[in-house]
Structure 1
Amino acid sequence: MSELVWERPEPPARPAPSPLSREGIVAAACELADADGLEAVSLRKVAAALGAGPMRLYGYLDTKEELLDLMADAVYGELDRPAPDDDWRTAMRCVARSLRDLAHRHEWFADLIGGRPSLGPNALAYMEATLAALGDFGRLEDAMQAMHTVNSYVIGAVRDEVTGRRVERASGQDEGQWLQASGPYLERVFATGRYPTLERVVRETTHPDRDTEFEVGLEQVLNGVAPR
């Protein structure tokens, strides 16, 4: 198996015409993604932003997929890690809230998390700190399952939030405006009597803001994974 990008050395530095480094390439790619999403990231566009030819980038990475891996790991480097003396609940709240904040700051990050685990140094440091905070769980299998469950909740929540923000920008309507515009349709649907439970949810329950919804859900998940 060939060396992963994390292990491959960079080419020798060249002072002219445009000095390059893997770190600089990743930073430029992240700036493009922050401005215009992942669809704006290509080796050609990153090279242009750095004033270099696209072929020079291939000395630092082999594929766009490697660039995306490096970008995700750079964001993991911004993650707040739990303090060594934090109890497991405090630690998981810290990780969950920080992961959510990063996905709001870098919306494209929400498209890269989940699936196969990232093996970059920052992602590994994040997993190490999280698992260490779950030491009270006893069995490593239980700690791993707890981390996976909390991560799955956070990833699902932030993807839902990021998708909602993108839809709002595209439509020019926030969720409240969209619901208000949909009111007459819902009244007609509920009048059929086919959705009585859904009607009760709409008419009788409160609809918390995203922050409250996230925190309530997080506490429910933490209660669910707590050691028996």
Structure 2
Amino acid sequence: MTVWDRPEPPTRPAPLDRERIVAAAIALADEGGLEAVSLRKVAARLDVGPMRLYGYISTKEELFDLMVDEVHAEILPEEQPGDWRETLRAHAHRTRQATLRHEWLADLLGGRPALGPNALAVNESKLAALDGLADLDTAMRAVETVAAYTIGAIRREIASLRAERATGLSDRDWQRASGPYVMSMLATGRFPALANMVHNSREVSAEVSFATGLDWVLDAVAAKLTRPQA
């Protein structure tokens, strides 16, 4: 039986429910990452005994599942965008925005499918947007491909943000600090493609980089959805 199937226990002296438990856990994770979340710490945040929580949640993994599903409510648009491309684009951007608000989400994306009602609604929205445009297998691969790009790009961005906080160096500061070494290596002539990139490429923001890559992925999906003319 999943945590969503299991009924909550009757209300007891201090008001408590899964919604309050999940909100407290998300607040802790937003402050200190997933390592800051435990049933004991959540109980302390709610000013109840830890054993009270076990009537609602059996394990920390169930708590993480509930947290992920709660954030999926932020990802689901209030209205379905007009076409498949806008739907998948909107979900990707909203997933990135939600993860920037809740960095711990990056650590929980990409594993087994999330089964909570909000996560199911997100996946329903994406598949429904492709309904009638391709066979089911093609639609599934399209959704998976966009999700793989989205999760990978988000994790890279979050890793960069964490590195900045850990070292105290912004990306620009890190580039300056490592510049002499990089330039000396490029001067050997062993890395001409990298040298061309360093000297001639245009630096863009993480948001622009994400949007550009996403559009390229959507272009590739569009090519697979285009059916040959009879």
User: Smaller-chain TM-score range?
Assistant: over 0.9
SS at match of 1:7: coil
**Which of 147, 167, 181 does residue 151 from structure 1 map onto?**
147
Alignment of 1:1-228 (within 5 A): 3-14=1-12, 16=13, 18-81=14-77, 83-84=79-80, 86-226=82-222, 227-228=225-226
Query: Are the structure 2 counterparts of residues 132 and 152 from structure 1 closer, same or farther at C-alpha, using a change threshold of 3 Å?
Result: same
Runs of 4+ in structure 1 off by over 2 angstroms are 80-85
Amino acid at match of 1:10: E
Task: Please give the per-residue CA displacement for 1:43-64, whole angstroms capped at 9, x wherever unaligned.
Answer: 0000000011111111111110
- Mapped partners of 2:176, 2:81: distance in 1: 48
TM-score (norm 2): 0.94
Whether the aligned pair in 2 keeps the contact of 1:81 and 1:129 (CA below 8 Å) is no
The Cα RMSD (Å) is: 1.2
SS at match of 1:77: helix
Q: How many residues align?
A: 224
Whether the aligned pair in 2 keeps the contact of 1:82 and 1:94 (CA below 8 Å) is no
TM-score (norm 1): 0.95
- Mapped partners of 1:96, 1:66: distance in 2: 25
Task: Please give the per-residue CA displacement for 1:41-87, whole angstroms capped at 9, x wherever unaligned.
Answer: 00000000001111111111111000000000000011133744611
> What is the deviation of 1:135?
1.6
Task: Please give the per-residue CA displacement for 1:153-177, whole angstroms capped at 9, x wherever unaligned.
Answer: 1101111111111111111111111
- Mapped partners of 1:194, 1:79: distance in 2: 45
- Percent of aligned pairs with the same amino acid: 53
Task: Please give the per-residue CA displacement for 1:94-132, whole angstroms capped at 9, x wherever unaligned.
Answer: 111100000000000111111110000100011001110
SS at match of 1:137: coil
